[in-house]
Amino acid sequence: MKTKSRCNPTRHIGTGMLRVDAADKVRGKTQYLNDRTYPGALHATVVRSPTARGILKSLTLDPAYDWKGVTVATAEDIPGENVMVMHDRSMPLMGAVGAELRYRGEPVAVVAAATAEKSMEAADHVRLDIEQRPALLTLAEAIALFKKSPKKLELLKTQNIEKGDIRRGFAEADEVLEAEYWAGHQEQLYLENQGLIVFPRKDGSIYVEGSIQCPYFPVNELNAALDLPPEKIRVKQTPIGGAFGGKEDYPSMLAGYAALPALKAKKPVKITYERHEDMLFTPKRHPVWVRFKTGFKKDGTLTAIECDYILDGGAYLTISDVVMYRGILHCALAYRCENVLIRGKVARTNSMPNGAFRGFGAPQAIWGLESHIDAIAEKVGKRPDAYRLQIHARPGDRTPTGQLLTEDNGSTHCLDLVLQRSDFAEKFKQASRGKLRKGQNKYYGIGLSFFAHGSAFTGDGEAKFKAKGRVELALLEDGRPGVNIRVSSTEMGQGVHTIFTQIAADGLSLTPERIRFPYADTGMAPNSGPTVASRTTMVVGNVVYRAAQDLRNQIEAFASRRYFKGAAARMRHSKLHAKGFRALPFLRVARDMREELGEVNGAFQFILPDTVQWDQSRFKGDSYPGYSWSANVAEVEIDPLTLELTVTRVFDVIDIGRVINPMTATGQVEGGLTQALGYAVMEKMGTGKNGLFDASRLQTYIVPTALDVPNYDVKFVEYPYPFAPPGAKGLGELPMDGLAPAIANAIETAIGVRLRSLPITPEDLFNAVIPPA
Amino acid sequence: MSPPMNFDLLNIRFPKTLDEAVAFQADERTRGRLLAGGTDLMVQWAAGAPPPQRLISIWGLPELSAIRVSKEMVEIGAGVTHAFLRDCTDIRAHVPALVAAAASVGATQIQARGTLGGNAANASPAGDTAPALLVTDGMVMLASAQRFRTVPLTAFWTGYRQTAAQPDEIIAAFLLPKKGRSVERFRKIGTRKAQAISKIMAASRIRLHGGTIESAAIALGSVAATPIRLGKVEAFLAGKKLSRRLVEEAEALAQASVAPIADIRSSAEYRRWTAGRLVRDALENLQ
């Protein structure tokens, strides 16, 4: 059943309004960090550990080198604690002399000089004496150890999810199926590399600006290391050329690196990576090993889902605990099963700590589960579509943590519609299954995946965080009144400036031309939380809408008193109306209001209803404020001559609640699906014996080009989120979640072999189907 | 990390004619690294290779820009771009594999700058046009201050990134016999559909008469230190009746006669297997 939106009829929400940043971006007027000049700024280069593991015995400066004009900062120059707070305070900002270095590239010093060239040259003259220790470089090594003796594996975090009784579940099963699935690193590959600049101020405060996805993160992170109170750290985003999670946690480290020489030299210090350094030494998507063991009846009814989900955390935990939580919460989310046991782990390896990337652990979980569900369907002799229709979760069901799925979950609709649009049942009959059918000159296959994605922070994150936002009456650049949206959400290409302009316009009933969304700045905007977790439109969008309504109420009250002799005023379409009076334009009312009252703000703080409950210690309850749903169908062709693979068509039906802007939403889906296509069949990053990634340039790290992109068929179904008037649920991460297993399932129907490790390349198909010579 | 390339510091000369260019190259004191489209060199410098002391730009030299079609031959100037080859209808019927190879280079932008001479001089085993040049049994013309001389293409690539050109020589042109009644084929397996360096590619020029193979020239790229001709397979095929069995034997022979390496783009086993598959592809598409 489709629920009705509680929204009033609106003018801008739901329309494909042109992006507010489009004109400047296509004309090249937008100034990114490296388009700006910062006179007098020094440029910093990070000095890194040349070994994957060892004790730093000494760090000395080459006495023969001329160090004039060069500032070198090490752990000794850290004013506060040598710690990145993150989630467990285990990672130092800088490797210190005497300490253990845990990954190739771990920073031990920062060198700043007048030019980038000079700082790179000087960095080569910092001498490190390191006592080597044996290193564990990859997840493959870690899992081999785990299989031999689980206790030998060094774990940074563990968490289980339990529902029902797993032993009873297997006892009730007619059959049991067990399989393992792997996936490797994935690089975010934002167009604009990492970079920021730190300005030390005379009053002891610092100002940071740069390509930063979550401006409040460096504020929180640096206060321990720099021993500065949060109010003395101001962070502003410059226009961001893509982030995808890659600029969530990492800019905090980058700000730390730049701040040390900046404070020492008392000069602004800029740090920016070129592509090679960015690819080698910034966080990636976590490699995963996931083992599913499922029990089921002859008709396919699931009686038990047991799952081990192990992420490669890299050398330090950083934010891998929450990535793992999101992962395990998606390991058995989309299907009915009364007995579930999921064991999540973050393994430690001597590699660059992995971090945030669109999907945040969920794509790895869904990759395993959706491959496994197809394998079960085959075992019980059902088509993958019919089987999913039978067992998928729907309103009235409870998730593995016991959350009741309410009517705002459009799971069945997504599945039905994607099957219908792709003509799945009919095309499934034509799949080659390893033998060319009449009329086929390529192996043909079609595959399905189905999944949910929890919108916003995991667990009680949003309830605790209480995102804040303001909408302020202000003079715009033309000297006339308008409003500024003041939230800490960042525009990084995904379109939030446009979306929030639409939402504010409807909340106020004001033309979007009078609304601005200045770049996020911790000095100007309250903390509405990081721009992550598919939470921005749903959570912060709601804050903006309610703050806009608050401002509208204030404007109406003012107008009623000032012009309408107390008669009720109503703001509609940028005018103030009252019965028996001539309507007054917003511009006049706003000007008078500012003159009389000074600062005028609408404000709101996000709250969740008391009915939403989460118990973090038992990992039970409402694990997300809401769920978006999606079903993907992929069609593939495989050349029998060479085993080259082409993904020809992809269908995606998504329930993201109310669609605020169908044009930008479709763009976000197509872009995300393309990123997922790369994850599925191209993007491969190995680790060399030296601890460095082997694919660290655009030449060697293969992402899809325009010619590799299939035809997309994207369709939205709307089951609006009931607790937020705009009705939106999460979108950003969903297109990344489920395409890889849909493609793997399609490959299985094409050649009759299931591939269990991502990415799936022609070489892998060759190894799977061609017997060794 | 290597500092970014500073192009202001480049010492670069712009001769206006081939004579001027070979004069620079004749003298060790003025000799420089030749720069045509720059699509290989710029990438190498950006990846940290030390830039050369001196550069001599031969981009746009009129003597290197011509295509001439005579009764037996196609003569292509070394400065002709891949984009020009791709679009030039006059040569398509005579050297179709080369035209297809040019159209498979990088992407539109790289095709617009990259030249046939540059691709040959770079001498990468993965150079896309090399196998198509090899199967023509043509010649490369080298110019120096003293003379022009020709070298058979089959003797041009002498080792990994090495050619038969002397330090004072500039590649001037390629003299390629027309295919006549032969059938040509080119196929590249890249890492993706555009902007791809080859995992392997094959070109062939095979003449079939009344069901019998009169002659076969087959070349592969990315399976050895240089682009190579499959001499054994060619000899095996010559004079034989085309049959399903012959194709299978040729496929197996091709697989047995290459010794590719594994690198970041592909595995040795996949390359060995596809070497045979591409020979099969050539033989199955002769009509």
Q: Report the C-alpha gap between A181 and A744 in whole angstroms.
A: 11
Torsion angle, CA of B257/B260/B266/B267, rounded to 10 degrees? 80
Q: What are phi and psi of A757, to 5 degrees?
A: -140, 130
Q: How far is CA B83 from the centre of its chain?
A: 15
The size of chain B, in residues, is 287
Q: Which amino acid is at B70?
A: S
Q: What is the 3-state secondary structure (H, E, C) of A233-288?
A: EEEEECCCCCCCCCCCCHHHHHHHHHHHHHHHHCCCEEEECCHHHHHHCCCCECCE
**pLDDT tens-digit map of B39-56:** 999 989 888 888 888 999
pLDDT at A644: 98
Q: Which two tokens stand for residue B252?
A: 């197996």
Q: Report the C-alpha gap between B240 and B213 in whole angstroms.
A: 6
Q: Which helix (H) or strand (E) is B117 found in, with range? A: helix B116-122
Residue B8 has pLDDT above 80, yes or no: no
Residue A627 makes CB contacts below 8 A (sequence gap 6+) with A333, A405, A409, A452, A453, A454, A455, A729
Asked if A682 and B192 come within 8 Å (Cβ–Cβ), the reply is: yes
Q: Give the gap in angstroms from C-alpha A704 to the nearest C-alpha of chain B.
A: 7
Residue of chain B nearest A115, judged by CA positions: B3
Asked if A117 and B189 come within 8 Å (Cβ–Cβ), the reply is: no
Asked if B273 and A644 come within 8 Å (Cβ–Cβ), the reply is: no
Residue B148 has pLDDT above 50, yes or no: yes
Find the chain A residues whose C-beta atoms sit closer than 8 A to any C-beta of B. Answer: 45, 116-117, 120-121, 123, 274, 276-277, 641-642, 644, 682, 686, 694-695, 697, 699-700, 702, 704-708, 762-763, 766-767, 770, 772-773
Q: Give the gap in angstroms from C-alpha B139 to the nearest C-alpha of chain A.
A: 32
Asked if B273 and A770 come within 8 Å (Cβ–Cβ), the reply is: yes
User: B36 near B58, Cβ under 8 Å?
Assistant: yes
Go through the domains of chain B in sequence order and give each one's CATH number: 8-57 (3.30.43), 62-177 (3.30.465.10), 187-284 (3.30.390.50)
Q: Which of A272, A642, A769 to mutate to test binding with chain B, by most B CBs within 10 Å of its CB?
A: A642
Asked if B195 and A695 come within 8 Å (Cβ–Cβ), the reply is: no
Q: Which amino acid is at B153?
A: L
Residue B3 has pLDDT above 60, yes or no: no
Q: Give the gap in angstroms from C-alpha B122 to the nearest C-alpha of chain A.
A: 17
Q: Which residues pair with A157 in a beta bridge?
A: A346
Q: Report the C-alpha gap between A42 and A197 in whole angstroms.
A: 9
Band of pLDDT at residue B177, cut at 50, 70 and 90: very high
**pLDDT tens-digit map of B92-118:** 999 999 999 999 999 999 999 999 999
Asked if B2 and A641 come within 8 Å (Cβ–Cβ), the reply is: no
Q: Report the C-alpha gap between A197 and A216 in whole angstroms.
A: 16
B107: contact with A, CB 8 A cutoff: yes
Q: Would residue A381 be called left, alpha or beta, if left means φ above 0 and alpha means ψ between -120 and 50 degrees?
A: left
Asked if B107 and A705 come within 8 Å (Cβ–Cβ), the reply is: yes
B150: contact with A, CB 8 A cutoff: no
User: B5 near B11, Cβ under 8 Å?
Assistant: no
Q: Report the C-alpha gap between A562 and B230 in whole angstroms.
A: 92
Instruction: Write down the ipTM of this complex.
Output: 0.96
pLDDT at B2: 55
Q: Which helix (H) or strand (E) is B245 found in, with range? A: helix B244-256
Asked if B255 and A695 come within 8 Å (Cβ–Cβ), the reply is: no
Q: Residues of chain A whose pLDDT is less than 70?
A: 1-10, 773
**pLDDT tens-digit map of A147-189:** 999 999 999 999 999 999 999 999 999 999 999 999 999 999 9
Band of pLDDT at residue B6, cut at 50, 70 and 90: low
CA distances from A448 to A65, A372, A636, A744, A754 (A): 62, 12, 12, 9, 14
Q: How far is CA A131 from the centre of its chain?
A: 37
Q: Report the C-alpha gap between A476 and A736 in whole angstroms.
A: 38
**What percentage of chain B has pLDDT greater than the value 90?**
92
Asked if A766 and B2 come within 8 Å (Cβ–Cβ), the reply is: no
Q: Report the C-alpha gap between A729 and A720 in whole angstroms.
A: 7
Q: Nearest CA to A587 among A481, A506, A471?
A: A481
B103: contact with A, CB 8 A cutoff: no
Q: Report the C-alpha gap between A9 and A30 in whole angstroms.
A: 34
> What letter does residue A759 receive in the DSSP assignment?
S
Average pLDDT for chain B: 96
**What percentage of chain B has pLDDT greater than the value 70?**
97
Positions of E strands within B222-276: 228-229
Q: Report the C-alpha gap between A98 and A475 in whole angstroms.
A: 56
pLDDT at A608: 86
Q: Which amino acid is at A306?
A: E
User: B25 near B56, Cβ under 8 Å?
Assistant: yes
**pLDDT tens-digit map of B217-251:** 999 999 999 999 999 999 999 999 999 999 999 99
Contacts of B264 in chain A (CB under 8 A): 686, 694-695, 700
Contacts of A707 in chain B (CB under 8 A): 192-194
User: Is this structure's pTM higher than 0.90?
Assistant: yes
Q: How far is CA A311 from the centre of its chain?
A: 16
Contacts of B253 in chain A (CB under 8 A): none
